Amino acid sequence: MIVSNIEFIPGKKITKHLGMVQGNTVRTKHLGRDIMAGLKNLVGGELVGYTELLTDARQEATDRMLAQAEGIGANAVVNVRFSTSSVSAGAAELFVYGTAIIVE
């Protein structure tokens, strides 16, 4: 599966458009990480726990999108966009969407 955030796959010809595919996940942090982040908020700097959490969550959203694309027979997804929104206090939604296509 080829993924790209430009409108085509360089070096490949698009033979069919299959429409939009998307994947999302809502995550919240666990207490241990929250306490560590609270301490880190005092001294400043990177919150490694949150960085990992968001990386994992985004990976899962991407996997869901790719599974959906595979399900409709695509072999590439183009024009991929990420979006983040906070649903409630302490929970974030990671959303990724793109256009499923078939390339030769």
Partner 1 sequence: MQDLLFFLLLISVGYVSGSVIERRHFASIREREAELRHILTFSAKTPPPEDCHRESAFVTGNVVISVDYFKHITATLRNLIGGRVIAYETLMDRARREAILRMKFEARAKGVTRIFNVKLETSSISKGRANQIGSVEVLAYGTGLI
As to burial, measured by CB atoms within 10 angstroms (0-12 exposed, 13-18 middle, 19+ buried), residue 44 is exposed
What's the min distance (Å) between Cβ of 7 and partner 1?
7
Q: Does 15 bind partner 1 (CB under 8 A)?
A: no
- If the CB atoms of residues 18 and 37 are measured against partner 1, the closer one turns out to be 37
Longest dimension (CA), the chain: 54
Cα 31 to Cα 29: distance, rounded to the nearest angstrom: 7
What's the min distance (Å) between Cβ of 83 and partner 1?
7
What's the min distance (Å) between Cβ of 31 and partner 1?
15
* Residue 8 per-residue DSSP state: S
Q: Which residues in this chain contact partner 1 in the complex, by CB under 8 A?
A: 2-11, 37, 40-47, 50-51, 54-55, 58, 80-86, 88-90, 92
